[in-house]
């Protein structure tokens, strides 16, 4: 493709509302343009990248035997009322009425539609398992769309839904989709991890998220230094400390700590480490009272875990200042487990401490040398903290590491959540009606593009993995305007590249070399070939990889072979 | 593909709401399933067909140098307010407010968005011409969606928009798109005509519609028996009759015609042909009065032409019974041009009559032997009728023929309608700001599928043109269940077919041959190969084309070559 026929619309300015690097680079590279909050147009350069991701997803889904269909984006309310989601879903579900005043929504997901289709088409266990997918533009009315296409309101999604007579069949397809996703993200050239995840509001049991690792990721992932274990921080178990709790060694003492509220202040005032302290949080209890949650001073509360405690009210709600004072007689900064008349739940690490420091339940006072079972009752013990780097890995193998990730895929076992509500059944071999088991499997195709950039960029711009690059090779000529030889050499090499089937963009503009170099680096073309007069005399062209390394002089007549082998290498990377 | 992995969901029953054959066959073949009024899911079989059409459209658009992008389906109201269409568009524009109460619509078309993009990106005449397109799901809230995907609310559209510094550049791209559409519909294997069309509400000047010819088409097309001329009936000119008007030969007489109102009744009562009669219609005039329109008895009013007359009120409105009686003193069935005190406009053919019959403007009376200029003033003459089969062709070459068509494509010259309203300008070579000229070019991709079926079917089902067939070859085995030889022969041939790159569907179900034959005919697979024991003994297989012709015995070892040559032929048909 020639730039004269495929105009670049790179810009120098970074838009003010672009907070993250992928958003900035996609705007600067001219891949997308903003139409309204959370609504973007994919310009030709961006769409080329999106279509490459889409093609890989489609190929692998077809290869896994999934059947592509295309359901309507607009969905009737009746089906959502059947599943109960019409009421449950928040305002991010775009609802509207048509000209006849019938209610519809633009679906962010299609469980209801596909379940309705399957219950109408499928009668017998012999017709199962089935796995349907579509690649479709979805809409979710985000309250605060931002980060460009990373959290847009309109986005391209691959959503798949599988149907089974029983759990073993669901397990099999689930594993197959897990493997397919692994192949997809591997082929896309991304550094990713599949992590155990809380299934959140969609419901069901087993669930994995696929995260592209990037410092800017919104989600924290715990993984093992020694095994393949990976889990969302929200779910990762903090193992109990090894060994017995040390015996008490000190007497409990009350110390004055005026103006000291935070753990940091306590450590400074009393010259202790956070690991020797306990912080106490009061939250609303399931019975209407309050509950004390105790954590080691250097740990943080895992709200998902805490919310699952039966003594605790759902959703997890911190006690108000009034509630705290009524229950403990002090402010939030002076709480502790000693002498309170409310349930106390200690995290495993906190419960393992001896001679610890905590608030005295008196404003301006702390206690030192405190010991469970001696100075206060033994607490109920639970895992309610977030894993931290250096903890033993939750699977017991190696040490926990923490990385940040961008969720780009998700596989769920839905079980019978939708099929039960919508009465999707089949007859089994004995003619008995059984409820279908379901799985669902999503990939944020447009989000993959942003995630790939978050993971692959430098100061000059995007550094596409081979599979996603809008073009594989950039062909540039130095001083084209003045040099007829350069122009002719470029034209000839361009034709050879096309004939060799190379995916090449040829910058045939008459602009300064610096402009061409900057543009091709910004838009991230993996391989650059430059033709200049000096090199031509020697029968050479200049090659540079966007991945780094120095300029290389390559024989003009060998450049096609050189590129072909570079590309083959890129694909197998 | 094996049927066991690509389940067919053919059904015997024709759904009650399926009025036209394409809707019936798409439902019966299991290509689509209805979700709600005008909303369909494209099932795997149907989607294969849709994707084939889409791929051809994309290939030809790219080949014509158009740039693919993807604009958001959801569009902000502000842009539609700028163009004025927010007010002008009827309730088929789906409007809604988001969670922040901002107004949006789901666009049936994207002129505003693309004009906004271009005015932001393009500054100089040097950047033009540009031609952008997208292939996207659109929504139009039809008041009465019907005919399946022929008039669905959600549909797949290819819409393109071109931008130019002047009319000659617009003309050039317009012609290029015209040629591209001709290539697209030719490659799709459709019998179609490009016709001059009224540009309707989108505005602008030159415009052609592309129609697939089919008896069930909603639009009438006039074309020449001798030239390439074709036009929408609404636009086709009815040429003036040749020669001078005959001189009066009879005296005017009043005859009693009690109870006679229609032309048919008049002809019967007075023993004349419709060609000798004049029928008179009263319509509301532009000045608030009424206007008489006179047509030959065998002709029909062309409302589009009549509405363009400056004396006539817009929109064209028939006078009420009260208005008729006030103006002419009689009912609608007794009107005529004699003795009325209102403007009379006669169609060219009506104005050419001598000694004609017409109403007497007295209930129950008609006049015979009437002549213009003698019995009533010479009328104003205009072309206000529809062309009929057998008229001279509007372009003067040959005779007019009339066919029915389904509109599947449309090319428009928009001129500066949107660019002027939205201030989309560029600087010309002299640094002067000029308003951009625009064209737009649409193809109803999903509608093409229905139109193809309307044109290609028989009693057994669909007969796909090669380019659209979901699979090219059907492979069937007789009595697979019983015969291991047949099963093995099928498996072996299937593998050979895949290796030869044939797009084959292999019916590996254990069902009766009649069921397989009926299914493959219903879903329209162009080439059928049947393996049976008897033939196997002779080293033969049975071949049949879905296009007709008898069964043929073909040597088993030559069947791949035979199919390959059949397919090559199909592609060049």
- Residue B550 maps to which CATH number? 3.40.50.800
Contacts with B394 (C-beta within 8 Å, 6 or more apart), sequence order: B222, B224, B229, B231, B236, B237, B238, B239, B387, B400
Burial class (CB in 10 A: 0-12, 13-18, 19+), B434: middle
Give me the DSSP letters along B350-411.
HHT-SSEEEE-SSTTEEEEEE-BTTTBPPPEEE--B---TTSBPTTSSSBEEEEEEEEEEEE
Q: Does A264 touch chain B (CB under 8 A)?
A: no
Instruction: Judge whether B144 is closer than 8 Å to chain A, CB to CB.
Output: no
Residues 55-74, chain B: which have Cβ within 8 Å of A? 65, 67-74
A442 in any annotated domain:
yes
Chain B contact present for A7, CB below 8 A:
yes
Same domain, A445 and A503: no
CATH number of the domain within which B433 lies: 3.30.930.10
Residue B490 C-beta-side C-alpha neighbours within 13 Å: 28
Nearest CA in chain A to B155: A72
Name B282's bridge partners: B292
B282 & B344 share domain: yes
Which residue, of A354, A382, A410, is where some domain finishes?
Answer: A382
User: What global pTM score does this model have?
Assistant: 0.89
Reduced to 3 states (helix: H, G, I; strand: E, B; else coil), residue A65 is coil
The answer to the question of residue B492 being in a domain is yes
Residues B366 and B408 in one domain: no
Between chains, do B35 and A71 touch, taking CB under 8 Å as contact? yes
Same domain, B144 and B197: yes
Q: Is residue B43 part of a domain?
A: no
A94–B contact, CB cutoff 8 A: yes
Question: What value of ipTM does the predicted structure carry?
Answer: 0.88
Q: Mark whether B419 and B532 lie in a shared domain.
A: no
Does A491 fall in a domain? yes
Mutation site for A-interface testing, chosen from B6, B32, B44, B98 by largest number of A Cβ within 10 Å: B98
- Do B76 and A137 make contact, defined as CB atoms within 8 angstroms? no
- With CB atoms and an 8 Å threshold, state whether A35 touches B67: no
CB atoms A99 and B141 under 8 Å: yes
CB contact under 8 A, A94 and B94: no
Cα(B96)–Cα(B103) distance, integer angstroms: 6
Q: Please judge whether A154 and B42 are an interchain contact, meaning their C-beta atoms are less than 8 angstroms apart.
A: no
B547 is a domain residue? yes
Q: What CA–CA distance (Å, rounded) separates B122 from A9?
A: 9
**Counting Cβ atoms within 10 Å, is residue A252 exposed (0-12), middle (13-18) or buried (19+)?**
middle
Q: Does residue B15 lie within any of the structural domains?
A: no
Nearest-CA distance from A18 to chain B in Å? 18
pLDDT, one tens digit for every residue, chain B (573 residues): 999 999 999 999 898 889 999 999 999 999 999 999 999 999 999 999 999 999 999 999 999 999 999 999 999 999 999 999 999 998 889 999 999 999 999 989 999 999 999 999 999 999 999 999 999 999 999 888 889 999 999 999 999 999 999 999 999 999 999 999 999 999 999 999 999 876 444 444 789 999 999 998 888 999 999 998 898 898 899 999 999 999 999 999 999 999 998 999 999 999 999 999 999 999 999 999 999 999 999 999 999 999 999 999 989 999 999 999 999 999 999 999 999 999 999 999 999 999 999 999 999 999 999 999 999 999 999 999 999 999 999 999 999 999 999 999 999 999 999 999 999 999 999 999 999 999 999 999 999 999 999 999 999 999 999 999 999 999 999 988 889 999 999 999 999 999 999 999 999 998 999 999 999 999 999 999 999 999 999 999 999 999 988 999 999 999 999 999 999 987 554
Based on the fold, state whether residues A367 and A228 are members of the same structural domain.
no
C-alpha torsion sign, points A128, A131, A134, A139: positive
Q: Which residue, among B40, B41, B96, would best test binding to A if mutated, counting the most A CBs under 10 Å from its CB?
A: B41
pLDDT confidence of residue B200: 44
Q: What is the DSSP string of A148-214?
A: GGGB-SEEEEEEEEEEESSHHHHHHHHHHHHHHHHHHHHHTT--EEEEE---GGG--S-EEEEEEE-
Of B454, B484, B517, the domain-final residue: B454
Q: How far apart are CA A219 and CA B124, in angstroms?
A: 45
Structure tokens at A101: 């005043």
Q: What is the pLDDT of residue A235?
A: 85
pLDDT at A481: 85
B193/B272 same-domain check: no
Beta pairing partners, B162? B131, B439
What is d(CA B508, CA B138) in angstroms, rounded to the nearest whole number? Answer: 38
Pair (B204, B102) in one structural domain: yes
Tell me the per-residue pLDDT of A191-236, one tens digit each, with 9 for 90 and over.
Answer: 999 998 764 444 447 899 999 999 988 889 999 999 988 988 988 9
Burial string for A309-342 (b: 16+ CB within 10 Å, else e) reads bebbbeebebbeeebbeebbebbbbbbbbbebee
Residue A6 lies in a domain: no
B420: Cβ contacts below 8 Å, ≥ 6 apart: B435
B420 and B368 together in one domain:
no
Q: Which domain holds residue A550?
A: 471-570
The domain tally of chain A equals 3
Q: Which residues contact A430 (CB under 8 A, 6 or more apart)?
A: none
Q: Is residue B298 part of a domain?
A: yes
Last residue of some domain: B337, B354, B382? B382
Distance in angstroms (rounded) separating the CA atoms of residues B428 and B435 = 10
pLDDT, tens digit (0-9, with 9 covering 90-100), for B236-283 = 999 999 999 999 999 999 999 999 989 999 999 999 999 999 999 999
What integer pLDDT is reported at residue B197 of this predicted model?
A: 79
> How many CB atoms sit inside 10 A of residue A423's CB?
12
State the best of B70, B130, B131, B132 to mutate against chain A, taking most chain A CBs within 10 Å. Answer: B70
Span A75-117, pLDDT tens digits? 999 999 999 999 999 888 999 999 999 999 998 999 999 999 9
**C-alpha–C-alpha distance, residues B141 and B248, integer Å:** 56
CB of B89 within 8 Å of a chain A CB? The answer is no
Give the pLDDT score at A571: 59
Which portions of chain A are predicted below pLDDT 50?
199-204, 573
- The three-state (H, E, C) secondary structure of B409-467, written as one string: EEEEEEECHHHHHCCCEEECCCCCEEECEEEEEEEEHHHHHHHHHHHCEECCEECCCHH
A288/chain B closest Cα distance in angstroms = 33
Does A144 contact B at CB distance below 8 Å? Answer: no
Tell me: the pLDDT tens digits for A479-489?
A: 888 899 999 99
| B373 shares its domain with B481 | no
Q: Is the CB of B564 inside 8 Å of chain A's CB atoms?
A: no
Q: Nearest C-alpha of chain A: how many angstroms from B5?
A: 7
Cross-chain residue pair A70–B50, CB shorter than 8 Å: yes
The answer to whether residue B117 neighbours chain A at the CB level (below 8 Å) is: yes
Alpha carbon distances (Å) from A513 to A279, A531, A554: 61, 11, 19
Residue in A376, A380, A358 with CA at minimum distance from that of residue A367 = A358
CATH of the domain at A314: 3.90.960.10
For residue A376, the 8-state DSSP code is B
Question: CA B129, CA B181: separation in Å to the nearest integer?
Answer: 19
**Tell me, what DSSP letter sits at residue A436?**
P
DSSP character string of B270-295? HT--GGGBEEEEEEEBTTSSEEEEEE
Q: Does A52 touch chain B (CB under 8 A)?
A: no
List the 166-195 stretch of A: residues with Cβ below 8 A of B. Answer: none
Q: Does A82 touch chain B (CB under 8 A)?
A: no
Query: What is the pLDDT, as a whole number, of residue A200?
Result: 44
Distance separating alpha carbons of residues A153 and A137, to the nearest angstrom: 10
A476 lies in the same domain as A425: no
Given an 8 Å threshold on Cβ–Cβ distance, is B72 in contact with A121? no
Do A345 and A205 fall into the same domain?
A: no
């Amino acid at each position: 493709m020639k730039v004269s026929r495929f105009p670049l619309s790179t810009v120098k300015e970074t838009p003010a509302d672009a907070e993250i690097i992928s958003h900035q680079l996609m705007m600067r590279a001219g891949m997308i343009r903003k139409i309204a909050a959370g609504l973007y147009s994919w310009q030709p350069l961006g769409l080329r990248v999106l279509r490459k991701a889409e093609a890989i997803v489609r190929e692998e889904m077809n290869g896994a035997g999934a059947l592509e269909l295309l359901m309507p984006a607009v969905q009737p309310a009746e089906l959502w009322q059947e599943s109960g989601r019409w009421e449950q879903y928040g305002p991010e579900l775009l609802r509207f009425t048509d000209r006849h005043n019938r209610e519809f929504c633009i679906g962010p997901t299609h469980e209801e539609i596909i379940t309705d289709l399957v219950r109408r088409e499928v009668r017998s266990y012999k017709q199962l398992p089935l796995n349907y997918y579509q690649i479709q533009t979805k809409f979710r009315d985000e309250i605060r769309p931002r980060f460009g296409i990373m959290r847009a309101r309109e986005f391209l999604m691959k959503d798949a839904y599988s149907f089974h007579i029983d759990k073993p069949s669901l397990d099999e397809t689930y594993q197959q989709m897990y493997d397919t996703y692994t192949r997809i993200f591997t082929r896309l050239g991304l550094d990713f991890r599949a992590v155990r995840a809380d299934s959140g509001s969609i419901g069901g049991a087993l669930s994995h998220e696929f995260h592209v690792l990037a410092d800017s990721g919104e989600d924290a992932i715990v993984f093992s230094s020694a095994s393949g274990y990976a889990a969302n921080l929200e779910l990762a178990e903090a193992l109990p400390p090894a060994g017995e709790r040390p015996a008490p060694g000190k007497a409990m003492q009350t110390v004055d700590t005026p103006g000291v509220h935070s753990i940091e202040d306590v450590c400074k005032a009393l010259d202790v480490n956070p690991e020797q302290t306990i912080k106490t949080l009061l939250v609303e209890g399931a019975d209407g009272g309050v509950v004390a949650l105790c954590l080691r001073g250097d740990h943080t509360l895992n709200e998902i875990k805490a919310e699952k405690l039966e003594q605790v009210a759902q959703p997890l709600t911190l006690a108000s200042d009034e509630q705290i004072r009524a229950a403990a007689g002090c402010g939030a900064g002076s709480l502790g487990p000693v002498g309170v008349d409310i349930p106390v739940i200690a995290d495993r690490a906190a419960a393992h401490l001896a001679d610890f420091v905590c608030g005295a339940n008196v404003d301006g006072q702390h206690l030192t040398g405190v010991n469970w079972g001696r100075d206060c009752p033994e607490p109920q013990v639970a895992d309610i903290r977030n894993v931290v780097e250096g903890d033993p890995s939750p699977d017991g193998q190696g040490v926990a590491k923490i990385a940040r990730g961008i969720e780009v895929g998700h596989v769920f076992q839905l079980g019978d959540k939708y099929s039960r509500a919508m009465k999707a059944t089949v007859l089994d071999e004995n003619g008995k009606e059984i409820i279908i088991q379901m799985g669902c499997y999503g990939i944020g195709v447009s989000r993959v593009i942003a995630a790939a950039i978050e993971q692959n960029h430098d100061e000059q711009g995007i550094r596409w993995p081979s599979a996603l690059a809008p073009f594989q090779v950039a062909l540039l000529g130095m001083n084209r305007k003045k040099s007829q030889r350069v122009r002719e050499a470029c034209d000839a090499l361009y034709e050879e590249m096309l004939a060799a089937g190379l995916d090449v963009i040829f910058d045939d503009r008459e602009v300064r070399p610096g402009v061409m170099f900057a543009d091709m680096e910004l838009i991230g073309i993996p391989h650059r070939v430059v033709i200049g007069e000096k090199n031509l005399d020697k029968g050479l062209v200049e090659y540079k990889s966007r991945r780094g390394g120095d300029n290389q002089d390559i024989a003009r007549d060998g450049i096609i072979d050189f590129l072909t082998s570079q590309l083959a290498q890129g694909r197998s990377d």
